Amino acid sequence: MDILSGKKLLLGVCGSIAAYKVAQLARDLTLAGAQVDVVLTAAAERFVGAATFQALTGRAVLSDMWELPEDGVIGHVSLGAQADAIIVAPATAHTIARIAAGMADDLLTTTILAATGPVLIAPAMNPLMYANPATRANVATLRARGLTVLEPEEGRMAEHVSGKGRLPEPARLEGEIRALLGRHSGPLRGQRVVVTAGGTREPIDPVRFVGNRSSGQMGYALAARARDLGAGVTLVSGPTALPAPAAVNVVQVETALQMRDAVQTACEHANMLIMNAAVADFRPAAAAESKIKKRGDGGLILELVPNPDIVAGFAQRRDLFKVGFAAETDDLLANAQGKLERKGLDLIVANDAVASIGRPDIALYLVDHEGITPLPRQPKTEAAAALLDAIVARYTAWRANRTQA
Ligand code: C5P
């Protein structure tokens, strides 16, 4: 189930031109199943009207502290206590200063002062205002109190100046909200997870490579789900056409050797490795320094040498929960069991390569030292989330066993 489903989110909007982006965010969060209550500051109402947010969220928009709500509690103090998370986006320098000072002079600041759950602040302002020591100190104060304050993005501002002050795009904000909820109460909170995705490219010469058809979709979806469940996620990715998931540390690599080095670094302090990448088994013995020319009608013989097995290199790391994948055309489960042992894995996810290619659905099998558990055949779009949940269940049991031992 989507982590946003049924969540109560309070979205505070301040007076900045970036408020228009947050209308899209309010819609996306609502479509994902969250209940979104929007609180506008007085200045926000000059940029985006309450009717816009009301139509997008299907909920009354709040801005007046003195308007009597249904529960009869003036000041809507209960709003902050009931919310699963409070998001202030865009947050202006002025509202950040008011929150830092502990003021309660409008509905938004009153709500935040009475908040019990996590708070995410997404500043957006003129770059000079953001760089001002007063704002820097206020941001530091909020962070020291445990609020999450995003860094604004760099780029061109509405006033035709460039610098650091832009509100991140709605997709990034949504990812940060998912990460915030996960870090607060998800089953992977406090855990570090490394996911690999996509295929590797092994250079033949400066313009050609040996590669494979992996799209990276499964790995990217697993990384996003691990983030949603609260993990700090590093995604080591071969080249793909996919956008980087928000609130995930993405390390881009090309070759198997680069992937090995990146995975080794990322796993130094990790608790789990999900090795979903389609690593090339072989690479050209040497990449030509300049483009290989066609010589008459003659062919070309490429000498290939084996790549190191990345996941097998972690067999001795007993403190790392290791998940591998096996897409097979024959003897699916026997081959998967062989790889589980040979590569020193805790779990391997097997699927029949022929029965899944070009189909919208997929049947997965979880193979571990206890036995084989099939997951129901389901649309590929849902399979990644279901798979990650099944991996987390195994991981939780594995951790419990380790602490007992
Ligand atoms: O290619 P194979 O079927 O052996 O892959 C099984 C698992 O081993 C996968 O999880 C894959 O990511 C991993 N692997 C690896 N390094 C390689 C080849 C495969 O970590 N060189």
pLDDT tens across 131-143, in order?
Answer: 999 999 999 999 9
Chain centre distance of CA 37: 24
pLDDT, tens only, 195-216: 999 999 999 999 999 999 999 9
Query: Measured from the CB, is residue 108 less than 6 Å from ligand 1?
Result: no
**Ligand 1 centroid to residue 4 C-alpha, Å:** 33
Q: How far is CA 276 from CA 46, 80, 348, in A?
A: 48, 40, 10
Q: Tell me if 212 sits within 8 A of 251, measured CB to CB.
A: no
User: If you ran DSSP here, which 8-state letter would residue 46 be given?
Assistant: G
**64: its two tokens:** 């007046």
Quick check: CB of 275 below 6 Å from ligand 1?
Answer: yes
Name the catalytic one among 126, 212, 249, 335.
212
Nearest 5°: phi and psi at 135? -65, -40
Query: What is the 77 CA–ligand 1 centroid distance (Å)?
Result: 54
What pLDDT is attached to residue 72? 60
Query: Who contacts 343 (Cβ-Cβ below 8 Å, separation ≥6)?
Result: 309, 311, 312, 315, 322, 324
Ligand 1 centroid to residue 201 C-alpha, Å: 15
pLDDT of residue 118: 97
Mutation to probe ligand 1, out of 210, 257, 275 (largest number of atoms < 8 A from CB): 275
Q: Which atom of ligand 1 is nearest to the CA of 312?
A: 20
The closest-lying atom of ligand 1 relative to the alpha carbon of residue 328 is: 3
Closest by CA position to 63, among listed 55, 72, 54:
54
Nearest CA to ligand 1 atom 10: 324
Task: Determine the pLDDT at residue 78.
Answer: 77
Do residues 164 and 218 touch, judged by C-beta distance below 8 A?
Answer: no
Q: Which atom of ligand 1 is nearest to the CA of 256?
A: 21
Residues of the chain with pLDDT below 70 are: 68-77
Residue 65 has a pLDDT of: 75
Q: Which domains does the chain have, with CATH numbers?
A: 8-180 (3.40.50.1950), 187-289+300-404 (3.40.50.10300)
Note whether 344 and 314 are within 8 A (CB).
yes
Q: Is 18 left (phi over 0), alpha (psi -120 to 50) or beta?
A: alpha
Q: Which atom of ligand 1 is nearest to the CA of 311?
A: 20
**pLDDT value of position 389:** 97
Helices (H) and strands (E) in the chain, counts: 13, 21
The reported pLDDT for the residue numbered 282 is 98
**Measured distance CA(84)–CA(4) in Å, rounded:** 10
Q: Closest Cα to residue 62, out of 44, 37, 82, 43?
A: 37
Assess whether the C-beta atom of 259 lies below 6 angstroms from ligand 1: no
Query: Any catalytic annotation for residue 138?
Result: no
State the DSSP string of 170-197: HHHHHHHHHHHHHHHH-TTTT-EEEEEE
Partners of residue 275 on adjacent β-strands: 196
Q: Cα separation of 343 and 379, whole Å?
A: 29
Whose tokens are 């609020």? That residue is: 147
Check if 326 has its Cβ closer than 6 Å to any atom of ligand 1. Answer: yes
- CA 309 to ligand 1 centroid distance, Å: 6
Per DSSP, the residues of 10-22 read EEEE-SSTTHHHH
The confidence score (pLDDT) of residue 160 equals 75
> What pLDDT score was predicted for residue 1?
87
Q: How far is the CA of 61 from the centre of ligand 1 (A)?
A: 52
| 112 φ/ψ angles, rounded to the nearest 5 degrees | -70, -35
Look at residue 264 in the predicted model and tell me its pLDDT: 98
The pLDDT, as a whole number, for residue 90 is: 98
Q: Which of 200, 211, 217 is nearest to 262 (CA)?
A: 200
Contact 112, 86 (CB under 8 A): yes
